[in-house]
């Protein structure tokens, strides 16, 4: 069985939804089809939530009216028969009457906000499933809220998904296509929740791992993982093959094409992930699997919003236990550390979550001296085949970066990553300089 995920732009227009129907039924492979919300819908739903939080009901209702008008127009073009159009209209009327009911809940809290934002995926999947029914495709709609759950630390419970799907899927053995929602899940309180922005990729990989799929395909608006951020750098090109480790680093360190955690479940269960272009289905895309190629530099990604901390030991020359004490504090406040550089008497670390930075700094100050944190930093992650006997890797990176100030360097943590920390004002310059220095022939 395959799991195919289609992102917002891939379902964002009626003709795109129609072309997806053709794509998923071209061969006889049984598929779970995971859909995002129509492009722009999640942002609009969040904006409606902001207006409601600010008690601006007029603004919220105006936004709901125009969103509904968009959906009304969409179904007018999606369905071909009066029955199809009536089914589509029923779905939209039901969901928008629920959305309206949320505007009357006072105060409007995080719980309602999560119910509101889930509507994007609930709408797109029902509309698409009704279209498959109209077209006579044997299909079913499986509610993600019945098999996707996160724990108290917001981590997906893949074991639960595995057990639930093992119960639910055999009931639909006669259906070639099983449609479900990306992004949404329940939390330990049973409330509607989600896997954070871009989370539909993660849903696809969690399902793919849970059912040990033959393949997970992520369909989007570009021909696979490019070697650099195409929004910032010209002349990027698709990378045809990546290992799980390489792809996981790129996703975690900012390649927007994949949610940061997407690769984890696929790697855990050895399920290959293929990135494909809905606008150009015959393009080869990128295959992410358990294999390596000899190419030294493969791709670059960048993650913004990073904070760096200098932590000086007050009396630590030759002392042991210093790092343990530091990391225990980050662990206590559930704050992951991304990059690390050490010297004999001090350590520099980066974090992307500064919610608990005050408590962390206060506790560190009991045995270290700290400087004011460096905010607005960017991690530039260079991925490739950097095994220890591969000479000349660092020199090429530093040559490319020769005119750009570097705050931290991390190399040798894995054989596939070299990371640099720069102030975010140098990000675009650094990505372009590295593209020129590492990839131009």
For Mg ion, the binding residues (CB under 5 A) are 7, 198
**Contact set for ligand ADP, span 192-211 (CB under 6 A):** 198
CA 319 to chain centre: 40
Residue with tokens 């939804």: 17
Q: What does 182 bind: ligand ADP, Mg ion, ligand ASP, none (CB cut-off 5 to 8 Å by kind)?
A: ligand ASP
199 binds ligand ASP (CB under 6 A): yes
- Distance from chain centroid for Cα 438: 26
Which residue in this structure is represented by tokens 């406040």? 333
Q: Which is nearer to Mg ion, 7 or 260 (CB)?
A: 7
Rounded Cα distance between 169 and 82, Å, is 31
Residue that the structure tokens 């799980």 belong to? 244
Task: Output the six-digit token pair for 19.
Answer: 């072309």
What x-and-dash track marks residues 30-69 binding ligand ADP by CB under 6 A?
------x---------------------------------
Structure tokens, 6: 């289609």
Told to check if 8 binds ligand ASP by CB under 6 A, we report yes
Q: Is 106 in the site for ligand ASP (CB under 6 A)?
A: no
37 interacts with ligand ASP by CB under 6 A? yes
What is the rounded CA–CA span in Å between residue 194 and residue 185?
5
Q: Which of 2, 3, 7, 435 binds ligand ADP (CB under 6 A)?
A: 7
The three-class DSSP label of residue 78 is helix
- Binding residues for ligand ADP, rule CB under 6 A, total 18
Q: From the list ligand ADP, Mg ion, ligand ASP, none, which binds 183 (C-beta under 5 to 8 Å, kind-based)? A: ligand ASP
What residues have CB less than 8 Å from 83, skipping those under 6 apart? 134
Please state, as a whole number, how many other Cβ atoms lie within 10 Å of the Cβ of residue 342: 12
Distance of alpha carbon 236 from its chain centroid, rounded? 21
Using the rule CB under 6 A, give the single segment among 16-24, 223-231, 342-350, 398-406 that binds ligand ADP. Answer: 223-231
Number of residues that bind ligand ASP (CB under 6 A): 13
Burial track 238-272 (b if 16+ CB lie within 10 A, e otherwise): bbebbbbbbbbbbbbbbbebbbbbbbbbbbebebb
Q: Shortest gap between Cβ of 120 and ligand ASP (angstroms)?
A: 5
Decide whether 257 or 306 has the Cβ nearer to ligand ADP: 257
Q: Site residues for ligand ADP, window 388-427 (CB under 6 A)?
A: none
182 binds ligand ASP (CB under 6 A): yes
Q: Does 8 bind ligand ADP (CB under 6 A)?
A: yes
Residue ranges in 238-267 that form contacts with ligand ADP under rule CB under 6 A: 255-257
Question: Is the Cβ of residue 39 or residue 264 nearer to ligand ADP in the bound state?
Answer: 39
Query: To the nearest whole angstrom, how small is the minimum distance from the Cβ of residue 383 to ligand ASP?
Result: 23
Which among 285, 138, 145, 169 has a CA at the least distance from the CA of 226? Answer: 285
CB nearer to ligand ASP: pick between 7 and 208: 7
What's the chain's length in residues? 441
Measuring CA to CA, which residue among 310, 319, 307, 309 is closest to residue 346? Answer: 310
And the tokens for 115?
């119910």
Between 182 and 209, CB nearer to Mg ion? 182
Least Å from the CB of residue 198 to ligand ASP: 4
Query: What's the Rg (C-alpha) of the chain?
Result: 24
**How far, in Å, CA of 107 to CA of 229, rounded?**
41
d(CA 328, CA 324): 6
**Cα gap 247→240, rounded to integer Å:** 11
**DSSP letter string, 337-402:** EEEEEE-SSEEEEEES--TTHHHHHHHHTTTEEEPPPEEEEEEEEEEE---TT-TTHHHHHHHHTT
- Closer CB to ligand ADP, residue 8 or residue 260? 8
Kindly state whether residue 278 participates in binding ligand ASP, applying the rule CB under 6 A. no
In terms of C-beta density within 10 A (0-12 exposed, 13-18 middle, 19 or more buried), how is residue 343 classed?
A: exposed
**226 vs 274, beta carbon nearer ligand ADP:** 226
User: Which residues are annotated binding-site positions for ATP?
Assistant: 5-8, 220-221, 231
**Which is nearer to Mg ion, 11 or 380 (by Cβ)?**
11
What are the beta bridge partners of residue 2? 31, 215
Q: Show binding-site residues for substrate.
A: 42, 121
Residues 169-188 that bind ligand ADP (CB under 6 A): none
Residue closer to ligand ASP, measured from CB, 127 or 233: 127
Q: How far is the CB of 124 from ligand ASP (least distance, A)?
A: 9
Q: Which parts of this chain interact with ligand ASP (CB under 6 A)?
A: 7-8, 36-37, 42, 120, 182-183, 197-201
Q: Which parts of this chain interact with ligand ADP (CB under 6 A)?
A: 7-10, 36, 198, 220-222, 225-226, 229-231, 255-257, 301
């Amino acid at each position: 069985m395959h799991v195919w995920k289609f992102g917002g732009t891939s379902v964002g227009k009626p003709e795109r939804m129609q072309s997806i129907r053709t794509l998923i039924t071209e061969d006889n492979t049984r598929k779970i089809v995971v859909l995002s919300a129509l492009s722009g819908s999640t942002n609009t739903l969040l904006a409606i939530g902001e207006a409601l939080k600010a008690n601006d009901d007029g603004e919220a209702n105006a936004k709901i009216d125009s969103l509904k008008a968009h959906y009304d127009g969409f179904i007018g073009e999606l369905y071909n028969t009066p029955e199809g159009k009536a089914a589509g209209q029923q779905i939209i009327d039901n969901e928008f009457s629920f959305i309206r009911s949320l505007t009357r809940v006072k105060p409007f809290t995080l719980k309602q906000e999560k119910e509101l934002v889930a509507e994007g995926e609930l709408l797109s999947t029902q509309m698409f499933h009704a279209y498959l029914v109209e077209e006579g495709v044997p299909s079913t709609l499986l509610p993600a809220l019945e098999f996707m759950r996160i724990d108290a630390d917001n981590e997906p419970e893949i074991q639960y998904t595995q057990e639930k799907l093992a119960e639910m899927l055999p009931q639909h053995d006669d259906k070639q296509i099983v449609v479900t929602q990306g992004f949404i899940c329940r939390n330990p309180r049973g409330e509607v929740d989600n896997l954070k922005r871009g989370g539909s990729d993660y849903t696809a990989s969690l399902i793919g791992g849970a059912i040990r799929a033959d393949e997970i395909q992520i369909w989007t608006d570009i021909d696979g993982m490019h070697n650099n951020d195409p929004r910032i750098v010209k002349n990027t090109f698709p990378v045809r093959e990546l290992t799980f480790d390489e792809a996981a680093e790129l996703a975690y360190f900012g390649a927007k094409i994949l949610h940061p955690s997407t690769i984890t479940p696929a790697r855990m269960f050895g399920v290959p992930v293929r990135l494909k272009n809905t606008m150009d289905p015959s393009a080869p895309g990128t295959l992410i699997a358990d294999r390596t190629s000899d190419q030294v530099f493969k791709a670059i990604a960048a993650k913004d919003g990073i904070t760096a901390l200098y932590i000086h030991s007050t009396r630590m020359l030759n002392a042991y236990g210093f790092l343990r004490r530091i990391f225990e504090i980050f662990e206590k406040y559930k704050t992951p550390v991304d990059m690390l550089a050490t010297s004999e008497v001090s350590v520099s670390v980066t974090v992307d979550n500064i919610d608990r930075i005050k408590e962390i700094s206060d506790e560190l100050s009991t045995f270290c001296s700290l400087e004011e944190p460096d905010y607005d930093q960017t991690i530039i992650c260079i991925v490739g085949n950097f095994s220890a006997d591969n000479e000349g890797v660092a020199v090429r990176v530093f040559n490319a970066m020769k005119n750009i100030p570097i705050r931290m360097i991390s190399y040798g943590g894995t054989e596939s990553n070299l990371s640099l920390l720069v102030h975010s004002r140098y990000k675009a310059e650094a990505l372009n300089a590295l593209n020129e220095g590492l990839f131009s022939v």
